[in-house]
Amino acid sequence: MRKSIIFVLAILLFLPLGVSAKVYEIRSDLAVVLPELPEPWVVSTEASPTLVEHLAEHLLEDAERAGRSLSQEEALRGARQRLASNDLLIFNEQSEAHVLISFSPIGRRQSDPSADSVALSARYAAEGVSDEGWTKVSEEHRATQVKGAQQAQYFKIDYTEDGEEHLFMGIVGYARPYWFWVYANDHLKDPLDRPTLDNILSTIEIRVSR
């Protein structure tokens, strides 16, 4: 009995205190592990009406900026289609901060991407800020570690849209045989969003069973 107690205590010494996580199955061979999130954050495989409307507003603004005509119905349909391409959505409906996670397997005859290829893909993702017509204020890129991944690149972009400050950051990586993209958007409406997003990006785990 005494040996059992000592063994349990020894295990507890190596476990982080106050850390809890949840596993979300994406496919039969693929899962994502995320930290337990505070309210009002929600994790779902489908976009909420609020998130759809939020993206539709941006699509309408982009169309107006480009001089194109886009109806409300078309914007909503486009928002649903764009969000449906993601495998997992994490969002705070009150502040509209959100994280989009998506996966794509490489072809059977394709080789694993190099670190340079992953870094280049992350830069392409970051360039989307300029493509949207937003003003980039600062930019950061660096290699990072994601449990379960062979390669991963972190990026962070501070930008302004119509004079308002925003933050776009994320991770592009490869967990054999899947490319993955984790895009986090913070509109700086709630100061508690940033620590939550940082926690997601720093603790996310990809589990692939073979």
Kindly report, residue by residue over 43-75, the tens digit of the pLDDT. 988 877 777 787 788 778 777 767 888 888 888
CA-to-CA separations, 46 to 16, 84, 91, 152, 172, in angstroms, rounded: 31, 7, 11, 25, 21
Closest CA to 137 of 119, 118, 164: 164
How much of the chain exceeds pLDDT 70, in percent? 88
Closest CA to 135 of 112, 157, 110: 157
CA-to-CA separations, 5 to 170, 171, 210, in angstroms, rounded: 42, 41, 36
- For the whole model, what pTM was predicted? 0.80
Are the CB atoms for 201 and 182 separated by under 8 Å? yes
pLDDT higher than 50, residue 15: no
Alpha-carbon distance of 57 to 79, in angstroms, equals 9
Give the pLDDT confidence score for residue 132 in this predicted structure.
65
What number is the average pLDDT over the span 72-95? 84
Are the CB atoms for 92 and 38 separated by under 8 Å? no
CB contact set of 14 (below 8 Å; sequence gap of 6+): none
Summary mean pLDDT of the chain = 85
What number is the average pLDDT over the span 182-205? 97
Give the pLDDT confidence score for residue 74 in this predicted structure.
84
Domains of the chain and any CATH numbers: 20-46+87-208 (3.40.1000.10), 48-85 (no CATH)
